Amino acid sequence: MTAQKPATSAAEGSPRAARDIVVVFDFGSQVSRLIVRRLRAIGVYSELLACTATVEEVTQARPAAVVLSGGPSSVYEEGAPHIRRDVWNLLLRKKFHPEVTHTPCGAALLRNFAQRIARLELTWNMQHFLPEQIQRLKEQVGSAPVVGALSGGVDSTVAAALLHKAIGDSFHGFLIDTGLLRKNEAADTLVALRECFPSLDIECIDASAKFYAALDGVTDPEKKRKIIGALFIEVFEDAVKQKNLNTQGTYLLQGTLYPDVIESKSYKGPSHTIKTHHNVGGLPERMHLQVLEPLRDLFKDEVRVMGRALGLPEERIERHPFPGPGLAVRIIGAITPQRVKVLQEADAIFIQEIVKAGLYKRCERVSRGDRVSGGFCWSWDCALFQAFAVLLPECQSVGVMGDGRTYEATCALRAVETSDFMTADWFRMPLDVLAVASSRITNEVRGINRVVYDISSKPPATIEWE
């Protein structure tokens, strides 16, 4: 950790303006972004830069203090990453991890560093940021039209609410039903969005037949993701063209979050592609749209806080994450309308039982010894963050229904607890909840006669099966 005098003032029109900032230099650590989150949680605005950042990049950030986050490389290795000597002026160092949840009084240590050593003001909170962002959007967009894909998830809903607050009804939203959504997802989401934004132009497009046809016979998960991503762009592009908008002067709303921005700033060593992320990459260039990313400075928890400040209903804000490719990555093997329907029913039952048990909504908990300010988010201990069902392939087993023999599919139930989604542990679901869910699924869902519970952690497993 290093405290230093602020450099030249930050650019106007960004969260850096008129705030004390802590810059976290990333040397490749898996927990670098956690330091950023913990500092924001106590009310200090923080950003992440690669350890190789130039003097100009650091000066532009106007840091009042910096934190050096380590990495896997040894300082004795040839080509080991290092920070430029003229970037910082060392005053204080520490060598452990106050940002992780199991460190006693970790948040208190970060608070003392920020307030007592670096003498920073705790100005990073929603009361300040929300009106600033609304004003920025008004100035940036003006009366220009904005288009965007709405999924009913937290990010797209909060982005639409923020934009609606800033520019009114100049936004055109498209809800694309891929046929791979959860049970009744398209209809329920459309109703919820129209309740939130009665005057907003929202159109639902049923493209399920196109997606089923494109995925026919495809079993490789990477191929599934790429097919879905490409077809999603095609359907969205056609929908926008139907509006007869001048794309040269139109903005594309995207729900980019700060972790996405971090990926382009972090120090990167050799890595492998685990999974391709589903997004609308390439769409702005193809359609000559200007990208609008009003949430790019926020973490997921901060987006939820913004949603509450904008008056969105709690059930919209607290929804569990859902993958962009939808149920396609939760159906192992080939995708068919029948297999999708089977999984939709099983997944709906599992979530119903979790809700009945009062486990669906996360609880705000603080590590002992930590004090949390009225900033953006809480210091989260682990709680249930995501739960879903998975339909297994070519994994039929013998069962008994009534007096008859069955030979049907196996369903896996998955629930995880995590504070950051970088690592996750399997959730210790009460056995009575699992028992009821299993009984209901095998009795009510035609095509499943066996239910198992996934107790794999991340790593080595990933949260999603594909």
Residues 134 and 262 in one domain: yes
Neighbours of 131 (CB within 10 A): 12
Beta bridge partners of 215: none
CA dihedral defined by 49, 54, 57, 60, rounded to 10 degrees? 120
Query: Do both 207 and 303 map to the same domain?
Result: yes
Cβ-based neighbour number of residue 381 at 10 Å: 16
**Residue 458 domain-assigned?**
no
pLDDT of 397 reads: 56
pLDDT score at 53: 82
Burial class (CB in 10 A: 0-12, 13-18, 19+), 309: middle
The per-residue pLDDT for 10 is 46
Number of H helices, E strands in the chain: 14, 14
What is the number of domains present in the chain?
3
Residue 460 lies in a domain: no
Cis amide bond preceding 15, omega within 30: no
Cα 458 to its chain centre, rounded Å, is: 17
282 and 394 part of one domain: no
- CB neighbour list of residue 109: distance below 8 Å, 6 or more residues apart: 94, 98, 103
Instruction: Tell me if 155 is assigned to a ligand binding site.
Output: yes
Q: Which segments of 5-153 does DSSP mark as H helices, in order?
A: 32-41, 55-61, 106-112, 126-141
* Beta-bridge partners for 147: 172, 252
For residues 306 and 347, membership in a common domain is answered with no
Task: Please say which residue of 272, 294, 317 terminates a domain.
Answer: 317
Walk along the chain (466 residues) and give the pLDDT tens digit of each residue.
544 444 444 445 567 666 788 888 888 877 788 888 888 888 888 888 888 888 778 778 878 888 888 777 776 677 777 777 766 554 444 555 666 555 666 677 777 777 777 788 888 888 889 999 999 999 999 888 899 888 888 898 999 999 989 988 888 899 999 999 999 999 988 888 888 888 888 899 999 999 999 999 999 988 998 899 889 888 988 888 888 877 677 898 988 888 777 665 554 444 344 444 444 444 555 667 788 899 988 888 899 999 999 988 888 888 888 888 999 999 999 999 999 999 999 999 999 999 999 998 764 443 333 333 334 433 444 478 899 999 997 665 555 555 455 558 899 999 998 766 667 889 999 999 999 999 999 999 999 989 999 999 988 888 899 8
Q: What is the full DSSP assignment across 15-40?
A: TTTTS-EEEEEESS-TTHHHHHHHHH
Q: Give, as one character, the DSSP assignment of residue 244.
A: T
d(CA 48, CA 4): 16
Asked if residue 153 and residue 66 are part of one domain, the reply reads no
461 falls within a domain? no
Tokens 């952690």: give the residue: 457
255 annotated ligand binder: no
Q: Which amino acid is at 165?
A: K
CATH number of the domain that residue 368 is part of: 3.30.300.10
User: Which pLDDT score is estimated for 421?
Assistant: 63
Q: Judge whether 459 lies within some domain.
A: no
Domain identity same for 358 and 436: yes
99 lies in some domain: yes
56 lies in the same domain as 10: yes
Query: 196-207 as b/e, with b when 16 or more CB fall inside 10 Å?
Result: bbeebebeebeb
Distance CA 148, CA 40 (A): 28
**Cβ–Cβ < 8 Å for 55, 84:** yes
d(CA 378, CA 125) in angstroms, rounded, equals 12
- Are residues 133 and 225 part of one domain? yes
User: Exposed, middle or buried by CB within 10 Å (0-12, 13-18, 19+), for 333?
Assistant: middle
Do residues 111 and 216 both lie within one domain? Answer: no
Residue 457 counted as an annotated binding residue: no
| CATH code of 206's domain | 3.40.50.620
Q: How far apart are CA 432 and CA 40, in angstroms?
A: 39
Q: Tokens 């532009």, residue?
A: 60
CB contact at 8 A, 101 and 381: yes
Q: Consult the annotation and say whether 156 binds a ligand.
A: yes
Residues 278 and 154 in one domain: yes
Print the domain residue range for 197: 126-317
Task: Please give the torsion angle defined by the CA atoms of residues 219, 222, 223 and 224, in that order, rounded to the nearest 10 degrees.
Answer: 70
pLDDT at 369: 35
Helix (H) or strand (E) holding 431, with range, is helix 431-444
Q: Does the annotation list 152 as a binding residue? A: yes
Instruction: Specify whether 144 is located in the same domain as 264.
Output: yes
Structure confidence at residue 290 (pLDDT):
84
Q: Which of the listed residues 283, 317, 351 is the one where a domain comes to its end?
A: 317
User: How far does CA 346 lie from the centroid of its chain?
Assistant: 24
Whether omega for the bond prior to residue 460 falls within 30 degrees of 0, making it cis, is: yes
Shared-domain flag, residues 140 and 56: no
